[in-house]
């Protein structure tokens, strides 16, 4: 007498496949939500930094980082101590947007000035490892004027530039669609190959959207 073989029925196999499909769908949807949150946070950086500048100007009639009277304006001598420095008051936020933390670059002092003025959260001590801000994907984030020698991307115009580094190509494309014209080589937001750990500005030409690879990292700049 032959032994009876056991196995899954077609109905059981179908149920297993449905469950696997639901799990995969949930994972993919979850990843999509995570990616959307990252893009939203990256976009928020570009939106909120101009408000720091305008609010500071409205309050003190000076530019953060460039303010020559910051100590008087914030009512303390903290800004003439080791953690802060007065700007030269020439109406330009000088230095590279991604300058190393220090007393000289106004682009670095920008963050101390807006924090001392209670416009932005974050440490005021330059010695703090988190003094220079990072975006939601861990890349450098900064702002400077578009003065001679300071623009990161050639051909862009405006008074100020905000740049954010180490952004994956798939996020770069979404950012440009969400905030500009959908073309990473034109408009007020453009992208270049990621600058890595460089702390000086070497202007580069923007990349067309078709040249932006989803898995590669880029630096995105917006002018205003």
Domain ranges of the chain: 14-223
Q: What is the CATH topology of the domain spanning 14-223?
A: TcpA-like pilin (3.30.1690)
Task: Pick out the chain residues at pLDDT < 70.
Answer: 1-8, 25-34, 77-82
pLDDT of residue 5: 56
Q: Which helix (H) or strand (E) holds 144?
A: strand 141-145
pTM value is: 0.83
pLDDT tens across 4-24, in order?
556 668 777 778 777 877 777
Of the candidates 28, 95, 35, 87, the one whose C-alpha atom is nearest the C-alpha of residue 56 is: 87
pLDDT of residue 197: 79
CA distance 198 to 202: 9
CA distance 39 to 52: 21
pLDDT of residue 196: 84
pLDDT tens across 39-49, in order?
999 999 999 99
Of the candidates 187, 124, 133, the one whose C-alpha atom is nearest the C-alpha of residue 164 is: 133
pLDDT of residue 223: 98
Q: Are 113 and 86 in contact (CB under 8 A)?
A: no
2 CB-side CA count, 13 A: 3
CA distance 78 to 93: 20
């Amino acid at each position: 007498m032959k032994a009876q073989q056991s196995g899954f029925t077609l109905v059981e196999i179908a149920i297993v496949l449905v469950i696997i499909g639901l799990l995969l769908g949930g994972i993919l949807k979850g990843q999509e939500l995570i990616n959307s949150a990252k893009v939203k946070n990256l976009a928020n950086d570009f939106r909120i930094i101009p408000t720091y500048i305008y609010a500071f100007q409205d309050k003190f009639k000076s530019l953060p980082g460039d303010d020559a009277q910051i100590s008087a304006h914030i009512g303390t001598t903290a800004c003439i101590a080791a953690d802060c420095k007065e700007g030269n008051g020439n109406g330009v936020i000088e230095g590279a947007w991604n300058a190393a933390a220090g007393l000289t670059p106004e682009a670095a002092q920008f963050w101390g000035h807006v924090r001392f003025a209670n416009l932005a959260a974050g440490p005021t001590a330059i010695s703090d490892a988190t003094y220079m801000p990072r975006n939601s994907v861990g890349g450098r984030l900064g702002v400077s004027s578009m003065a001679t020698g300071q623009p990161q991307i050639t051909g862009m115009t405006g008074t100020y530039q905000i740049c954010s580094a180490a952004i994956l190509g798939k996020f770069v494309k979404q950012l440009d669609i969400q905030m500009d014209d959908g073309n990473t080589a034109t408009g007020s937001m453009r992208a270049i190959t990621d600058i890595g750990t460089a702390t000086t500005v070497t202007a580069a030409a923007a990349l067309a959207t078709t040249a932006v690879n989803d898995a590669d990292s880029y630096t995105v700049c917006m002018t205003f």
